[in-house]
Amino acid sequence: MKVRGRFAPSPSGEMHLGNAFTALLAWLQVRSSNGTMVLRIEDLDPQRSRSEYVSLLMQDLRWLGLDWDEGPDISGPFGPYEQSQRWDLYEDTLNWLKIKGLVYPCFCSRSEVQNVVSAPHDTGSGREYPGTCRHLPPALRERYLEEGRRYCLRFRVPDRELRFTDLNFGSQIINLEQEQGDFIVRRSDGVHAYQLAVVVDDALMDITHVVRGADLLWSTPKQIALYEALKRPVPAFVHIPLVYGEDGRRLSKRHQVPGIKTLREQGIKPEQVVGLLGYWAGLLPKPLAILARDLIQEFDLNKLAVQPVRLDSSMKIG
């Protein structure tokens, strides 16, 4: 089987070290397997995505020595490679799921859902949605639709154990219906949800391996349920440690840690950044200046760290 991997950033800000960490490991996994690397832009949300960040992140990736074989700027057999241009594909999938009775309109507001799951009588199961609209009588559902009530679309999750093995975090078992509940596949404003779009894209692009942050490990069972409903092969998943700021929160632009663009402008060498990221991943014994292509031979899934990276004021690059 030909390995096909991808890096799929959201163009909502400048690339920081956490983004670069994911990009590097996704790239190394593909290049160490002589596979095909895909760059896909996840610009689903028009309120958060900016076109100027797309060109900037491609500059940053190339500066780091990370290339791709298919992407927004390269013709490929599975384009377009921007989610904003794939709306019809998501709608076609939703229509198929509707025919199969696997999605339904949910008229609950976010506050209504939160009030139910946090009510005193709740069992504390951690479910994100209690299934309120799943069981609406058909006549009531039709009345709400005729009244023009806003609604999102939710996917009916199966009530059974779902098992998968993450190639870094090991065996995982979950019953989605009991532990999380039905999830949104299209928002009430018409924007397709991440869970749907990422499955459609990865399936249609024949992605075989998904390398991404550990914060998305909880999303994997939902996506596997969609793959199974769509009768598509499930890719292998590799979740990697997150990078946290000094405050213990996932690294983002609010931490004011120099981003890749700033590091470039400060005269930092790309091999210094790559070496630090390789050290964080567990691929190097210490932060050594190394080109991305020279790190390919060091890549080994068995070496990958599982503990998160915590930045502090003593961190230096170079």
Instruction: Tell me, letter by letter, the H, E, C secondary structure of 142-161.
Output: HHHHHCCCCCEEEECCCCCE
Give the span between the Cα atoms of 207 and 226, in whole angstroms.
Answer: 15
In this predicted model, which residue has the larger pLDDT, 34 or 259?
A: 34
Fold of 87-198: Glutamyl-tRNA Synthetase; domain 3 (3.90.800)
4-82+241-310, which class in CATH?
alpha beta
The domain locations on the chain are 4-82+241-310, 87-198
Nearest to 66 by CA among 211, 231, 194: 211
What mean pLDDT, rounded, does the chain reach? 91
Work out the pLDDT band at 117, boundaries 50, 70, 90.
very low
Contacts within 8 Å (CB) and 24+ apart, 184-188: 184/106, 184/152, 184/153, 184/154, 184/155, 185/94, 185/97, 185/103, 185/153, 185/154, 185/155, 185/226, 186/90, 186/94, 186/152, 186/153, 187/152, 188/150, 188/151, 188/152
Half-sphere exposure of 41 (CA within 13 A, CB side): 29
Work out the pLDDT band at 118, boundaries 50, 70, 90.
very low
Work out the pLDDT band at 125, boundaries 50, 70, 90.
very low
Q: Provide mean pLDDT across the span 275-287.
A: 94
Domains 4-82+241-310 and 87-198 share a fold: no
pLDDT in tens, 148-201: 999 999 999 999 999 999 999 999 999 999 999 999 999 999 999 999 999 999
For residues 95 and 147, is the Cβ–Cβ distance under 8 A?
Answer: no
Give the span between the Cα atoms of 240 and 217, in whole angstroms.
Answer: 9
* Entry field: residues in the chain: 318
Q: Provide mean pLDDT across the span 236-252.
A: 83
Which pLDDT value is given to residue 217?
Answer: 95
